[in-house]
Every structure is written in C-alpha cells, then in structure tokens.
Structure 1
Amino acid sequence: MNAPRPDHVLVVEDEPRLARLVSDYLVAAGYTTRIVDHGLDVLPAVRQHAPDLIVLDLMLPGRDGLSLCQELRRFSEVPVIMLTARVEEVDRLIGLEAGADDYICKPFSPREVVARVKAVLRRHKRVPTDLVAAPSSPLVIDEERHRALLDGHELDLTPVEFRLLKALAAAPGRVFSRDQLLDKLHDDTRALSDRTIDSHVKNLRRKLEQACPGLEPIRSIYGVGYRFELGDDTRAWSSSP
C-alpha cells in the first residue's frame, strides 16, 4: 500500500532567510515546500503546483498579498495563512475579509507557523459528516466540496464565511456570542475583536440576501450575539453523531 502524499505548502516570502527558515521547519514537520519570492509569480505557481496550503506574506514585490488572496478566491479554496509586520486591527480584518484563513504577525516563531499550518489543514480536511440537510431544506452545505447553496443558488463564500454559516446553521435557534463564533472560526483569537465577527456576519448576510432577496436568516440579538433561523425550514437540519 502506497504511503499518502505529504501536504505541499507554498511559502511566499521575499526575505530569503525567513523564507528558508519557515520552509526548513515545515519540511522537518513532514511537509513538502516550494518558495516563491515575487508577487507576480504566485498565481502561476498555484495553478501549476496546486499546493495544499499557502503561507503568504502581505508585502511583496510586484503585487501585494491582499490582492493575491482576493484573486485566489476567484478560482481556488486553498487555505491561506497571511504573514505581516502590520499589527493594526484594520489590517487583520482586511486580510481575513480577503479570504485568508489565518493571520500571523511578525516577528513570529517558525514553530508557531508549523502549528498554524497543521491546525488550518486539519480544519480544512475535516470529514464532512457534521451537517446534513433534508431534501426540503432551502440551505444545503456540502463540506467535502466546500459548497453552500441557498434555495438552489450557490453562495460565493470565503473559507471564513463558509465556516461561520456552517456553525450557525448547525444549531438553528441557538444564540451564539461573538466570542463563541470566534472560537469556531480561528484557532488563535487573542489578536481579534468583536468587530471581526460583525464584519464577517455583514458580508455573509449580504450574500444570503443576494441569493434570496428578502430572506434574513441571521438575526442580531442585542447585547448577546447572533442566531440563525429559517422559520419552519430549520427543522430540516440535523447533526450527525
């Protein structure tokens, strides 16, 4: 029996020493890696080598990491961990809204990068048995294909928005605090605030509204958090053991 192929990580970093350090730690952890040091080379490398995860620096020559992440999301759901020296919250929010799965601020430990890579890959590959919809449900979540359909319309969601919708829809009627939702979306929430969830909810609501005008399944509970409900259709949802 052939051994499974090791996950391949594309390291996008223009500082040679840092790129090599991150790559060496990932290889020691059992991954294969490829280093790209210029923004214009990133998308061709993704299309040619189909990495399982990308470690993407925010500031790159040729093209910045945010615009690259936004374009990646037009054709790929490959997990992205962004690296940056910017520590302001607005930059963290912009990075996550662009479709990044996680965010690490410099300076960082290479061991932290390895731990984040493991966590994001584990979350991305989670077996799709968490949520099942009956045929009559207007919302269908296919975790294996990373697709969500509302009333037959496919939703164009970022990875974070997909996880947010899945977490809310798994427990219709339950009120989630912002902290509880942050815990479900990110492994390390120390650098994030309530505004992060509010921003993701705003974007998710807009996409749900575009798919089904007049439908507002995500309700704000003043001073508490958010609740998901689709009226009688919520009974179609069930969680597997």
Structure 2
Amino acid sequence: MLLTACDTPKPPAGDAPSATASTQAAPVATATKPKGMPELLVDELGPYLGGRRVDMKQQDATEKLIKIIKELPIEGKPVTLLADRKAKTPIVAAVVYELGAAGAPKVIIKTDGRDDLPKEIEVTPEPRVTAPTTCAVTTMVLEDLSTAVWPFKGGLGKRQRKGLAGPDLSHTGETLEKEIAGCNGTVAFFSGDDTIAWEMTHNIAGTLLQADKKKKIESLVLLHHAPVAGRPVKLGSGS
C-alpha cells in the first residue's frame, strides 16, 4: 500500500506540451521603418541623420551618407535640415545634394544665425535644377572672407572685400540687388569656400534673399562643390 501511494500516475503522452507548439507561439519580431521623418542635423562633427553619425573623414563616407539618406521616408516631399553655425560648408552642401538625389524637391535649412537675416532658407538641391538662364546670379564667400558676385555663364564679376567682423554683407547686398534686377532668370546660386564655416554661407544666402526685392527668385540653389569666382558654374558634378 505504501508503494502504491508514492507512485504518481504519468499523464498520457498526448497531454505533454509540445516543444514545437511552444516555439510557434513565440511572437516574431519584425523591423519597421519609422513613419515620420527623423531629425536631420549637420554640426561641426558632420552629418547626424536620424541618430546615425557619418564620419566624413572616412574613405567610404559618401557611400554611408547615400545609404542612410536613401532609407529616409522622403517620398518626394520637402525635407528640413538643421545646420549648426560651425558646420563645414562642403558637408552641408553634400547632405543637401544627396537629399535632392534621393527625391527631395526642396530642403529647408534652419540655422541659428544673425537676427537681421533669415534663420530659415529654402534651397533647391542641385540635382533638381536644369540649366538656368546665363545671367543667373551666383555669389559666394571666399577663403579670405571677401565675397564675389558673377553670372552663371561666367565673366566679369564683382568682388567685395571683407568687413571688420567677416564678409561685408551690406555692400554685397547692394550688388546682388542690382544683378538680380538686371536678369530675367528665376534661379540663383550660392556657395562658400571649403574652409568657410556654414554660418558665413548661410548669411550670404540670406543676403541674396533680402536683395531680391521683387521676389523673382523661385529656386535658390546651394552648389554641391564651391565654384571658382568669375568662371562658368558647372552643374551635375555628382558625389
């Protein structure tokens, strides 16, 4: 009787839990892309797009930048880019170029700069631009902080020496106003030397917008690569 009481009846084989069934019941994790556009930033360290940093000093930096941007939910819509004042001009230009190549028709660049100039500019990426009129205004900040204004086709330009604390935007603005008024084009271009901090390049773009008194400019284009002042501007130079 004692032995009988200590024996525990075994459950039928059909009642035992199935390892296969248990495995199938476990939820399967699936990766989903974010529905909204993440924050896009360029600071003094380089692009920081949707929480992913790109070191532009690395040999494969351009490939990484293109890959990250292609994964963004652009969907043919304008994109907002935050650009720090200390960011490097060629890196901001590279990000804008690739955003355009990925389908963004416009890029709204926000920079906390001077109070007397727009802190937000809407630019057209170079890949979204076709050949403009030959008189289209081009302006840039040069390495020595002087400024230059000349037509898209190249030719005699006008240079303004630097002011006390940077580019002389007052006199440059007067030149831009005359050149814009004298051209029937609706596209204008701007850039900055590769050594110039983005703040200076952003400021000359804002100066150009203020100089457009009749609001003729429909496309303000940030050039992918800094042009040579006075020479014809080349588009479509790629990555």
TM over 0.5: no
What's the TM-score once normalised by structure 2's chain length? 0.26
Q: Which has the higher contact order (CA 8 A, sep 6+)?
A: 2
- Name which one, 1 or 2, has greater alpha-carbon Rg: 2
Relative to its length, the structure with more helix (as a share) is 1
